[in-house]
Amino acid sequence: MFRLTTTASQAKRGLATSSEKVWNVYLSGEIHSDWREIISNGIQSKGIPVKLTSPNTSHEDSDDCGAIILGMEEKRTNWDKIGARMNGIRTQTLIREADVVVVRFGEKYRQWNAAFDAGYAAALNKPIITLHPPNISHMLKEVNANASVVCEDPEQVVDTLAYVIEGKLPKPRDGDDFVPIADRLGAGNPNP
């Protein structure tokens, strides 16, 4: 069973459909800004059928989970390895269950774990959406090459999910400067 949704702009572009499926979207990456909340709020306000998951976003808990549960270690490398393995259970499970993986890279910190998550998702053939400021695109060129979509802000992620899941397009980012491709370059197939 599916729910049919169309608007005037969609009718001009073609039929948009949406199923009752609730999509699992895993949010990987930096934990020092509110990008997850922006995406969550955007999904809620648009009513997109999405369940969001993420790693443990408490840096202290993520670092100390192994020592808190299993006991303190004498060496930092052991402490980190135990915590990383515990965190890996959650991360690997949720990425495997995800329909889409969003990977956020910020400017301030090097998110090696996010790059690892992107590689893991790519190995599982999961669709990846990367999210980062344009000025770090060069250092992420290999990650971006494996992404289905590269976004610069959380609102673009929300708009991408709305389109992919429900066929709903936002108003053009370029506003009145937007020109449809058929008007710009002509029809793609002159012999439809």
Tokens encoding 84: 């990383």
Q: What percent of the chain has pLDDT over 70?
A: 86
The per-residue pLDDT for 72 is 80
Q: Which pLDDT value is given to residue 191?
A: 60
* The pLDDT of residue 7: 46
pLDDT for the residue numbered 41: 98
Q: Is the pLDDT of residue 24 over 50?
A: yes
* pLDDT tier for residue 11 given thresholds of 50, 70 and 90: very low
CA distance from start to end of the chain:
31
DSSP the chain: -EEE---HHHHHH---EEESPPEEEEEEE--SSSHHHHHHHHHHHHT--EEEE-----HHHHHHHHHHHH---SSHHHHHHHHHHHHHHHHHHHHHH-SEEEEE--SSS--HHHHHHHHHHHHTT--EEEE--GGGTGGGHHHHHT-SEEESSHHHHHHHHHHHHH----S-TTGGG---HHHHH--S-S--
pLDDT of residue 160: 98
Q: Is residue 38 very low, low, confident or very high in pLDDT (cuts 50, 70, 90)?
A: very high
- pTM (predicted TM-score): 0.85
For range 143-161, the mean pLDDT: 97
pLDDT value at position 8? 47
The predicted structure's pLDDT at residue 50: 98
Q: What is the pLDDT of residues 67-89, one digit of tens each?
A: 888 888 777 677 788 889 999 99
Angle, CA of 55, 56 and 60, to the nearest 5°: 140
pLDDT at 190: 65
Q: 144 and 150 in contact (C-beta within 8 Å)?
A: yes
Digit-coded pLDDT (tens) for 120-138: 999 999 999 999 999 999 9
pLDDT in tens, 163-174: 999 999 999 999
Residue 183: the pLDDT is 84
